[in-house]
Structure 1
Amino acid sequence: MTNKTYLAVLIAATFSANSIATENDGEKVTVWGTQISNSSESLLASDIEMKQGDHLSDLLRDQPGVDVGGTHSLNQGVNIRGVSELDLDITLDGASQNNNVFHHAGNLLINADIIKAVDIRVGNNSVLNSGLGGGVAFETKDARDLLRGDDKFGTRIFSGMASNDYSHTSAAAFSELSENVDALVYYSVISRDNPKDGDGNEVLGRDGKTQNVLAKVGWDANDQNRFELSYDYLKDAGDYTIKSNMGMNGSNWHEKYIRPIEYTRDTVALNHELALANTDVHSTLYYNEMSYTSKRKGAPINEGRTEVYGLKVLSETNLEVASMLHTVRYGLEGKTEESKELLGGKPLPNSKETAKSFALYVEDEIQLTQDWSVTPGARYNRYKVDMLASDKTFKDTIFGLSSKYILSKNWSIQASGTELFKGPALSGSFLTSSSSYNPDLKPETGVNYEASIAYQNMDLAGLDTLGFSLTVFNTQINDYIDDTMTGKASPTKPYRNLGDVDIVGFESAMILQRDQFNGRLTYAHSDSEFKNVALNSGLEKGQSLEDEVGDSISLNLGYTFPSVGVDVNWTSLVALDLKGKVNSDSDKKGYNVHGINMRWIPTTNEDVTVTASVDNIFDAQYASHASHDFGYIDYEPGRNVQLSLAYQF
């Protein structure tokens, strides 16, 4: 079907739907989208927005301090302050997604369409977080989010097409099966052809299909207990290049690397919420498996497989001691990770690696006065690894301290210092490590310092809201390990610590709202540097992290026309040139890219949603600074016109 034909079908379907709608029943309209919260803007009241997207970059790239590297569907690499996703605490419905599969593929398989909420922790400023650079918690939609009013059952069907060059179809059914039980079943398929970059070059090795199935059942056992069981399966398969993170560099060299590749994720999670008078407890028991397979003619199937079993419990208790209010957060988490390479379905010798981790943590937010709070915290970590490079057990107790002070009705400040710990990660499962034993291998440790100031006024100069925030940080990581190539070393160069890294920078944001208009302007800066480098590390003192992103600016403008049910949004992203400070650094070219999105929910029939958008309007040739492309620039797709129709009933 051509794009013009598809557009005609969408318009006809919309007018048909309008013709059978008699009046607006006034019920609440549930918009299919994603709520995004960002800790670097947490001092602002309006830190949540609605977004839609098919790739994680569509959701997250305009967030200050955050970037998403990779353009291939196999590559969705979240980057916070120049730190890659392997050093972040990333979860999906509470299940850990810290997998290390293959250095030419990403380690996240996330379908942005079904995500309900994204909670981004930019920087680690709490002992509750295990990531060196912060974390991201993804939460999928459930039936309770989608049912309207007193409805007991609902269905949503969606179809969309993009000019560069894919189509997307999904269907969801959700129901309140009884007074205490609700359920959701969702299926999505994205079919892709090879896209073109901003210079009009076809990017090879992208022809494939991504399918996602989510089934979720929730049970309210009583007023205090809710259980939710979910199964999430995602498969991305096609004629892909095995070097999916590397660009074309003006030639078709990828052709010889294209082969049938299948990348899958199975996630099972049981979540429990307990609500008592002064205590809330959230627990997650989960299993997550990632499998990457490559098929070559005449050769057995090569597979890399990672499995994670885990339990996480987080409680919050409110109490009063010595006339001071305390909010105590405490919990534990434990997980077992297993990684192995298989050939023809059989594990290869020496490919199996395991890691077992356990942590206990507590922090107490003490309200010293009405305007001043102090939060001390402590975390005990135990990490046992069994792989060629090490079979050690690492233990450490780390501490954190933060304070917040409300200066006035409009101004507030906050500061924190949090120690860091991360044990040596398992090698990527798709290739067996060739590392020799390293008796000197250490965990990564360090500290993250942050200070923030925020201003917010709900009635100034005729504006409904005006807000500003600034967060400055200094992250110090000792005995840094580059997880991108973890353990892929010759016997004379074992899996090792590379040196000590300092990262300094800031994130700033300004928001304003008046009537139907809203806007947000952000500026983020990060600058990393190896202060010391280990002998034979291959690095140079003063060198930046490979995934350093530098300076970025985002502008979001939105306007709502409620009388006709139309929302219009404009987004501009600007990245400044990133110049290497030493010979070993790579220069990264800056860019500016712009997009517009329009969503129409007809006032005469709110079951229908039509969305039209243009990404990369001016067909820019650019690459994300977060793309880890080994010197082969991974250019983003060129101009992309998208049109979709959704119908919910």
Structure 2
Amino acid sequence: MHHTSRGLLLLTACFAGTTLSAQQLDPVFLGTLRIEGAEAQALLGNDQITSEEIARRNPATVRDVFAGESSVSVSGGAAIAQKVFVNGIEESLLSITIDGARQNKSAFHHTGNVLLDPALLKSVEISKGLAPADAGPGALAGAIAYQTKDARDLLEEGESFGGLMTLGATTNSKDIRSTLTLFGRQGGAEFLLSGTRQTGSDYKDGSGKTVEGTEADLTDLIAKLAYTTGSGKRLSFAASRTEDTGRRAAQAGPGGLFFTRPDFAEVVGRPNVLIDGYARRESYTLTWTDEAPEGWFAPSLQLSYNEQEIDASGVWGLNTSLSGTAKNVWQLGNGTLTAGLDFFDETAKGRGRGTGAFASSGQEEMWNLGLFAQARQDLGARVSVSYGLRYDIQEFEGADGSRFDGSGLSANGSVDVILTDTLTLNAGLASSWGGYELGEAALVDFGGAWNYAGFTTSRANAARLGLRHDSGPWSVSGALFRTEVDDISAVLPTGGARGATADLTSTGFEGALRWTGAQGFAALNYTYADVELNGDAVGSTAYYLGRPVGHVIALEGGWDVNDHWRVGGSAEIALKNTDTAVTLPGYEVVNLHAVYTPKALDGVQVRLDLRNVLDATYEARSSDGIDAASVIALTEPGRSVGLTATFRF
């Protein structure tokens, strides 16, 4: 039986069994678990970026989404190039989902992993190192879960139809960004359709230099359908497609071919040639949930499919992922138990466009089945715990037809202890089995056949220990962390040696200070992360692994002047990093904004953004090649003025 069919049958059997059980049990009332509270989760490294925070940041790129988050950094350039790092560890070592759809890694190392436009983003959940068992397989260094809005998130009480139109422009790169979203509800049925188009020219950095190959040329389409019965049974379908088709800088490479490298400004000694780049992500997710369970069970079933495609001129690559999850939430007397199973079937395939060894064509495939259980409980008035196990079975087929089987157990546990009325202790440990790694799709067998001698599975160990203090409008917290990921397969193998392994560690401290008032807030987040690869400071081209971080400070604040005016801003301060082989310079970037909601125009909002107010010329700390002599790294956009108008009808 095919792996995918086997996984679907297991999901169906699990779902049917839990539904029957749910009909036989009585409900149990449960209050809010303290360890699931925002403060406890934040100190354990599990942060949520809410819809209010996303709206305040007015993101046009993934990087804007994480403004104010010192522990999450995003590399620079156009959307096609942006990669996300959590405490210096690259997102391909985390579990990434969009509306529950598992995302495979990038098809080419000079491009980002997950092409995402934030136009309809509702929330983002981030787990740093201590991912729970129900976060999914492959959560070696944590997880990032993106959730987009449904029609019911946008419709107001009593409405059956509505729409949003957004039009924005910026001065630096002369970007024009427009979004149209339509949504409606009739009885239990609802729909949402949304499209975003962003175009522009190459931006200028703080010194006035035009950075070639950075023009915006993005198209994003989202469709969502759902039906909810009177008893709370909900079936929903989400589909999204995002494309980046801008002209990108390319340079000569192996086999006499040109390769688009949108993560670099230039490669020394190889003149730029502008070539139409192409990146595409598609995700489809079907979900069934019981939002008003009558028994102890709250079952859900989800099936997802995802594709990531990259055309880098000299090579082409495609990653696919079919995945599914069936789970139930048992309501216990003092908490919950989430248990179930999940699977994925993923491929990485590509081809070269050269001759001889550079006219390669190959594919790798990986299949995984996982069983998981995660408990979250309050043990009395002062102690709250979360603990879980998962067991994964995996099969891997290499490009040469070789087969590998592996299995592993993952465990995690965390505790939240109230020490005094204002002081709380948090601690957590996790050991996660990572399994095998798919190689880079675009370069399978490129330049020579890959070999799998010594090919093995990876494992991560993570720990956090923190304290938080709350007193009136003030809160302060701090946590020590360490994440070790061992035996990571060579995704981008030298000489085709897929069995080569690497060990990655991120060790450091996270601190936060926040003041919250009736009309505003001010927050400071600080992260120090020492990221090492095989015992030495990680370099800025350690693809699929990590980037040097050092000391990073993020500031964010906002003030509601009155019912019609709101002002705010954010700042990122990266201190000079001398831990690396090449000293990385520090920089300071400040952004300000003002939002006006006119009383006389219902549903209209106008926003002014001043980005990089100080017109700093800098290279983002997580960008590729910032310490490489053979590369001229991308500098970030200089000062830019943006104006955005939103009309709700």
Alignment of 1:548 onto 2:561: no
SS of alignment partner, residue 112 of structure 1: coil
Q: Is the contact between residue 435 and residue 487 of structure 1 (CA under 8 Å) also seen in structure 2?
A: no
Q: 1:204-603 maps to which residues of 2 (within 5 A)?
A: 204-241=212-249, 242-248=260-266, 255-256=272-273, 258-275=274-291, 276-277=293-294, 278-295=296-313, 302-320=315-333, 325-342=334-351, 350-388=361-399, 391-433=403-445, 434=448, 436-457=450-471, 459=472, 465-481=473-489, 486-491=491-496, 494-530=497-533, 546-563=546-563, 565-581=564-580, 585-603=581-599
Q: Which moved more, 1:265-274 or 1:623-632?
A: 623-632
Distance 1:546 1:373 in 2: 33
Runs of 4+ in 1 over 6 A off after TM superposition: 42-47
Amino acid at match of 1:269: T
Cα distance, 1:609 vs structure 2: 0.8
SS of alignment partner, residue 265 of structure 2: coil
Amino acid at match of 1:68: V
Distance 1:366 1:239, change over 3 A: closer
Name the % identity. Answer: 22
Cα distance, 1:366 vs structure 2: 3.5
Distance 2:200 2:301 in 1: 38
Q: Is the contact between residue 38 and residue 119 of structure 1 (CA under 8 Å) also seen in structure 2?
A: no
Cα distance, 1:498 vs structure 2: 3.5
Q: Is the contact between residue 37 and residue 118 of structure 1 (CA under 8 Å) also seen in structure 2?
A: no
Identify the match of residue 107 of structure 1 among 113, 125, 136: 113
Hey, what does 2:634 align to over in structure 1? 634
Distance 1:429 1:255 in 2: 24
Distance 1:44 1:56 in 2: 19
Distance 1:222 1:586, change over 3 A: farther
Paired residues in the alignment total: 577
Alignment of 1:132 onto 2:140: yes
Q: Deviations over 1:167-221 (max 9, x none)?
A: 1011111111x21011111011000211111111111123352111111111102
TM-score with structure 1 setting the length: 0.83
Cα distance, 1:446 vs structure 2: 2.8
SS of alignment partner, residue 89 of structure 2: coil
Distance 1:506 1:54, change over 3 A: same
Q: Is the contact between residue 285 and residue 303 of structure 2 (CA under 8 Å) also seen in structure 1?
A: yes
Amino acid at match of 2:510: E
Distance 1:525 1:452, change over 3 A: same
Q: Deviations over 1:563-585 (max 9, x none)?
A: 4x11111211101111245xxx3
Cα distance, 1:610 vs structure 2: 0.4
Q: Deviations over 1:230-285 (max 9, x none)?
A: 11011110222211011247x895532x2122211121111222231433334321
Distance 2:192 2:81 in 1: 28
SS of alignment partner, residue 112 of structure 2: coil
Q: Is the contact between residue 204 and residue 254 of structure 1 (CA under 8 Å) also seen in structure 2?
A: no
Distance 1:47 1:643, change over 3 A: closer
Identify the match of residue 185 of structure 1 among 177, 181, 193: 193
Cα distance, 1:119 vs structure 2: 1.0
Hey, what does 1:65 align to over in structure 2? 71
Q: Is the contact between residue 550 and residue 579 of structure 2 (CA under 8 Å) also seen in structure 1?
A: no
Distance 1:128 1:475, change over 3 A: same
Q: 1:33-112 maps to which residues of 2 (within 5 A)?
A: 39-41=41-43, 48=50, 49-51=52-54, 52-112=58-118
Distance 1:104 1:610 in 2: 37
Distance 1:125 1:412, change over 3 A: farther
Distance 1:114 1:46, change over 3 A: closer
Distance 1:65 1:282, change over 3 A: farther
Hey, what does 2:645 align to over in structure 1? 645
Amino acid at match of 1:496: G
Distance 1:348 1:103, change over 3 A: same
Q: Is the contact between residue 298 and residue 330 of structure 2 (CA under 8 Å) also seen in structure 1?
A: yes
TM-score with structure 2 setting the length: 0.83
Cα distance, 1:123 vs structure 2: 2.2
Distance 1:447 1:371, change over 3 A: same
